[in-house]
Structure 1
Amino acid sequence: MLDYYTRLKRQYWCDIEQVLIFLQATSSEIVFNTQYVDRKTRHEYRVIRLWEEDPTPLLANPALLPLATLARTDSPQDLLEQVAAAVDMIEERDERQNISACVQVLAGLRFPKNLITQLFREEVMQESVIYQDILQKGLQQGEQRGLQKGEVAVILRLLIRRFGAIEPEIEQQIQTLSITQLDELAEALLDFSSQSDLVNYLVNISPAQPNQ
């Protein structure tokens, strides 16, 4: 929180109000910390634990309906039904679809899937641009993982044919490489004369970066 504060202040030099929101109920000590202290440094920030918050103001604002599903209540199912009713009252179609999708995503942290699908129509969520974006990113990640897995298999087969059995530690490191790094390895291995060349090559490359 201190790091975020100093970065924002340095870049924009504006007033900053920091609020840290915890979504799921927990007894972890971190959710009760409201300041960072280190010798002569003390940085304070506000903490909101959603499971302690009154749902009334959240239910009154369509944009806050997703958060309302995680608010304080003695009857969670009644609260979710109230949220569903509030979503149905949103007149603008695109807004209703997007808020419904957000509600269902956050509600999944607290409620079983069958109850959520019972109260919210699945087709409404599927038409949401937010849901479609999440789905598209998931498909892209799945395609990337599939392509990466296929390249790993080919490279391991080539290495085994050239050098025999590969040490498990080396195989594990190869499986963590990005697609770009695997392409580069596929070219480099043509010049390897022994498994030690492979080991030296892996030592000198950087760890895989996300989304490569």
Structure 2
Amino acid sequence: MRRDSLFYQLFAQLPRTFFDLLGIDSAEGYRFDAIELKETTFRIDGVFVPPAPSGIVYFCEVQFQRDNTFYERFFAEIFLYLRLKRDTFSDWQAVVIYPDRQTEQTDITPYTPLVKSDRLRRVYLNELPSPEELPLSLALMKLMTLSRAEMPPAARFLVQSTQNQAVEKGEVIIELITRIMLYRFTELKREEVLHMLGLTTEELKRTRFYQEVYAEGRQEGLQAGREEGLQQGLQQGLQQGLQQGEVAVVLRLLRRRFGNVPNKLEERIRQLLPERIEALAEALLDFTDLGEVVSWLERST
């Protein structure tokens, strides 16, 4: 999983984070989205769509690798969006998040007027204060730029702050911190990362985030089992319903963590035997992207 995808997951789960970065207080109602401009091959991964046409549309790009044609592409995408979506906004602002100044494109000609204007805001994460000195939302961004030696104590501090302050969407924040650590410490299993953070798998399963997903999936499965039981007998129907409930739990967890699950992948999961569904439910705690789910299925089926 690329680091920029972690940022986009952060923005999708906690849109307020982006506006905290810009120091904007009143930004309610914005929806974070990836916009595909169907007339071309352009796709803008980070667009904050205003709740009304009178609002400002924000374009956000996370750029962690040097690309000497980045501004050519970025501004081309922006201006095409502005032409195609003119009735959905009143003004626009662009933001690029860099790890440091050295990552930025060096030759900005002929885009100097735009790059140097108020239309574009460039953020260099290494110039932000330490995570302990930042609001929690910005500290998550800073965490992604730290060295392997710096990350564990900073991550533990953020987990403890989240727990102690009982912040809104605390379970989501802890899950994001865990995912960031798994991205950096690829050689560790999820349980080892949780231990590094001072957490346990059981603690994660007790969070409202996990329980809501599990309860919803179980309810779907039980309902399916009851309907099936009317036709084939209560016992058989409930047994099938519980199995379908496990599948629903797995799919719902995957959607919550990684977004849309492709139809072909969902069908493969639905065809798993009951014991493989249970194994997948445990294994998915270690996954960091859908590619690992596919690899697990290929090894296990």
TM-score using structure 1 length = 0.47
What's the TM-score once normalised by structure 2's chain length?
0.35
